[in-house]
Amino acid sequence: MEARQDIIQATEQEYAKLRTAIDGLGEAQMSEVWLGTWGVREIMAHVAGWQVEMLPALERLACGEEPYAKGSYDDFDRWNARFVDARKDVATDDVLREADWSHRDFVRAASRLSPEDLAVGQAAHGLVEGVGAAHYREHAAQILDWRGRAGR
């Protein structure tokens, strides 16, 4: 398989696993705080935030440009808080819809990159993997661990 197909497939599979990890959780469980100041709801708002934020970066990469100015995203905690805070008054179902929509947009944007751009070691590969499959995998594991410990 080519690099683009591999990373897109991994991104889709890991997002499906993340969504499966939250299946069956009610509003109270989605809002329960267990990861610092976050619950599943905040995790999904955070995921959606990064997906949306990186769309222009993917577009710039597709044009052969740098994805963003160096240092733009060095303070991950500040960005994470910004994404979660921006969605604090959004209904949980809407947060989940935003995550799904932004995931589709993210995959669509990544699919426009060339196989060469998405080869291991290239900036685009790191960005797509970091915001996509690796990010989804990290949070799915946290959620599954929490669910296991809490008997959910």
Domains of the chain: 3-150 (1.20.120.450)
pLDDT higher than 60, residue 1: no
Q: What is the pLDDT of residues 15-70, one digit of tens each?
A: 999 999 999 999 999 999 999 999 999 999 999 999 999 999 999 999 999 999 89
Q: What is the pLDDT of residue 102?
A: 98
Q: Tens of pLDDT along 102-115?
A: 999 999 999 999 99
Residue 138 exposed, middle or buried by CB count within 10 Å (0-12, 13-18, 19+): middle
Supply the pLDDT for residue 130.
96
Collapsed DSSP state (helix, strand, coil) of residue 39: coil
pTM for the structure as a whole: 0.94
Residue with tokens 């991950």: 76
In this predicted structure, what is the pLDDT of residue 2?
85
Tokens of 120: 């291991």
The amino acid sitting at 57 is A
How many of the other CB atoms lie within 10 Å of CB of 22?
A: 20
Residue 26 token pair = 């009610």
Helix, strand, coil percentages (3-state) for the chain, rounded to 5, are: 70, 0, 30
